Structure 1
Amino acid sequence: MTRPLRADAARNRRLLLAAAADEFAERGLDASIADIARRAGIGKGTVFRHFATKEDLIAAIVLDRVEVLIETGDHLLEAEDSGEALLEFLSVAAEQRQQRDLSFLQGASGGNAEVSRVQARLQETIDALVGRARDQGAVRDDVTGTDLFLLMCAPNYVAGYAPGAPPDLWRRYLAIIFDGLRPQGAHPLPHPAPRL
């Protein structure tokens, strides 16, 4: 059983993860532990007390971000309007990416067993959100959780191609995507959903 962190250790960990996320966002995977420690205002030794390797630090950032989405999704499973809940979930995912796009860290943490476990848990939450929305007729019958998982990054990705665009342009593309998920006017899809 792991003991909870002391208040100062928990604070250092939060500062460290925020600094690491900023550093990775600016420098990519080339970000150094020394620069991350400097940015967090702590020593390199403190970084290694929390995370034995750079890969462990990357995994912790990914885990934090995925766990926010799981908590959001689990909470939204209780919402009365499953369509609005699904749209809210996609909005939270897009806002998270808008604040700091660290999607490239997913690949770098791919071999981490805990990241794999938590990502599978996220997929279960998304499947449940989509299942409820399908059952209530809020989305088309042929939309799957995998479809939604793959579409989560699309609004920001598309908006990123518009130079000088307002930071909330992703909302336009999310609305277009979500309209495509609705059953009204839906046409058969040309290909089945992929398996991940």
Structure 2
Amino acid sequence: MTDTTPASGPRADMIRNRRLLLTAATEAFAEGGVDVSMSEIAQRAGLAKGTVFRHFASKDDLLAAIMLQLLGRLTDLAARLLEADDAGTALRDFMTAGVEALAADQAFCDVIGRPSLQHAEVRDAIGRLGDVVEDLTVRAKERGAVRADVTGTDVMLLLGGIHQTAAPLLDTDPLLWQRYLELTLDGLRDSGARTLPHPPPVRLRLSAPSTPS
């Protein structure tokens, strides 16, 4: 008979502790941004501070792990939406989910430019998300749902722009981002669109950190 008893012992404890840490850190960073201390995260998780550092050598390593989770969720969503019948609604649904995620997570925007983005896995994850968003955007253009000169990189950058526009007032008006999302979506539509005055940006891919000479 095959033993179906759940795994136990040190390995099971490590898996459990890592899950507790990621959950606690995700909640803490979402509420307080990246200045939340590792001690507070350990306390939220009900673990010793030393346990945090056994799993994550630095706060940037922990932020990278959280970013990978969020980027993975957005990439999975975009991939599922590629199968939707209505390409325009699919792009809209992705942008709505993306801005909503940013509005709910103060740390995600805080983390841009931090060393955690120099993790190869994070750079690769951003590249994968960019590829799928490009496919979503191309599909929407082919259906005439959005203007012909918009790119997936435009879409990804607009997500941050929408959030930053609403960010100063989100504490008192947490759904304000919906207003600016709708204004942006109107600008993406092809009907009566003027030619954009500047070419699109290059693909949103982060380069590896340079090594000192």
Superposition TM-score, scaled by structure 1 size: 0.88
Deviates more, 1:31-40 or 1:160-169: 160-169
**TM superposition shift of 1:9:** 4.4
- Which of 102, 109, 112 is the matching residue for 1:106? 112
User: Counterpart of 1:184 in 2: which secondary structure?
Assistant: coil
Amino acid at match of 1:104: D
Decide which of 36, 44, 51 is 2:49's aligned counterpart. Answer: 44
Q: Which 4+ runs in 1 deviate beyond 6 A?
A: none
Please name the residue that 2:5 is paired with: none
- Across the aligned residues of Structure 1 and Structure 2, the Cα RMSD in angstroms comes to 2.1
The whole-number CA distance in structure 1 between the counterparts of 2:48 and 2:171 is 38
Distance 2:30 2:82 in 1: 31
CA–CA separation in structure 2 for the residues paired with 1:127 and 1:11: 36
Bigger mean CA deviation after superposition, 33-42 or 62-71: 33-42
Tell me what 1:75 maps to.
80
Structure 2 CA distance, aligned partners of 1:164 and 1:73?
A: 28
* Cα distance between partner residues in 2 of 1:186 and 1:180: 8
88-97 or 25-34, which deviates more:
25-34
Partner of 1:33: 38
CA offset at residue 43 of structure 1?
1.4
> 1:191 pairs with 193, 198, 201, which one?
198
Who is 1:168 aligned against?
Answer: 175
Assess if the C-alpha contact under 8 Å between 2:72 and 2:125 holds in 1: yes
Count of residues in Structure 1 that have an aligned counterpart in Structure 2: 192
Name which of structure 1's ranges 54-63 and 76-85 shifts more when overlaid on structure 2: 54-63
| TM-score, reference length from structure 2 | 0.82
Q: Report the equivalent of 1:157.
A: 164
Counterpart residue identity of residue 133, structure 2: I
How far residue 155 of structure 1 moved from its aligned partner, in angstroms, is 2.4
Change (3 A) 1:67 1:189: same
User: What are the ranges of 5 or more consecutive residues in structure 1 without an aligned counterpart?
Assistant: none
Partner deviation per Cα, 1:18-37 (whole Å, 9 max, x = no partner): 32234334554443222210
CA distance 1:163–1:94, shift in 2 (3 Å) = closer
Assess, with a 3 A threshold, how the Cα gap between structure 1 residues 100 and 177 changes in structure 2: closer, same or farther: same
In 1: Cα distance, 2:195 partner to 2:113 partner: 33
Bigger Rg, structure 1 or 2: 2
Q: How does 1:115-194 map to 2 (within 5 A)?
A: 115-162=122-169, 165-194=172-201
- Tell me, yes or no, if structure 1 residue 20 matches structure 2 residue 25: yes
Q: Conserved in 2, the CA contact under 8 Å of 1:159 and 1:165?
A: no
Find the residue that maps to 1:106 and give its secondary structure.
coil
Distance 1:142 1:97 in 2: 25
Match runs of 1:80-99 below 5 Å: 80-99=85-104
- State the identity as a percent: 47
